[in-house]
Amino acid sequence: MKSYLAAALQMTSKPDLEHNLNEAEELIDLAVRQGAELVGLPENFSFLGEDSAKIAHAEEIAAQSEKFLKTMAQRYQITLLGGGFPVPVGDGKVCNTALLVDANGKELARYLKVHLFDVNVPDGNTYRESNTVQAGTEYPPVYHSPQLGSLGLSVCYDVRFPELYRHLSKQGAEVLFIPAAFTAFTGKDHWHVLLQGRAIENTCYAIAPAQTGNHYGIRHTHGHASIIDPWGVILADAGEETGVAIAEINPDRLQQVRRQMPSLEHRVWG
């Protein structure tokens, strides 16, 4: 693993596939021009709209999203994470799928979101992800890159389930991807706290691409795409506008923290 720059992109995706992919490309270009070699897009990067529209267009969204990720990774010679897009699985449902691809456009890892967001939020929004999404049944993978380190995948609501990240750390993860479309109401109180918790307890970097602003109707997301170091320090925060959070992933810092706080070696259970 070498030192390198990583970027967590922040978008305001709409119920418009073409618009979203254009915005994503502009942000990827911005990140690469700043030197990023590892780039993450948020959950729902290619489409964020009503469930009925998502299901009606799921085949097109899935095909265009995967093609886009592979094309962008090759064009910009980066490793790229698509933090979540719908892939049809039949019976009117999709899997919320995160996909990691390399600079040759090769798929490195794929994860089907396990924890589905079925919550009544006090701001008036009701979320029933399980109405249209089939939950994954397997732990997320860790991709071991000689250059970029060991990259563990997750998606949004997963961040509230520390056992998933403990699994990733046991599999050798050094960098945790946490792409999200975090609600504005919960994000103001929980977003950074949860990211820092997952980074600290696993002594890993956390890269958290995010959605921000108003997407349709009363659907608002929190923003603050972030990169967190293994001590829990917020290295970069994109604020509330679309843009890029960029920071160095440094193996020396990772090892320093793990020497200072060797909690992974002190585990009694799990």
Q: Write down the catalytic residue from 23, 37, 66, 156.
A: 156
Catalytic residue flag (residue 156): yes
**Token digits of residue 98:** 């995160």
Q: Write down the catalytic residue from 43, 70, 95, 204.
A: 43
Q: Are 65 and 54 in contact (CB under 8 A)?
A: no
Q: Write down the catalytic residue from 23, 66, 95, 113.
A: 113
Catalytic residue flag (residue 265): no
**Token digits of residue 120:** 């009544």
Report the catalytic residues: 43, 113, 156
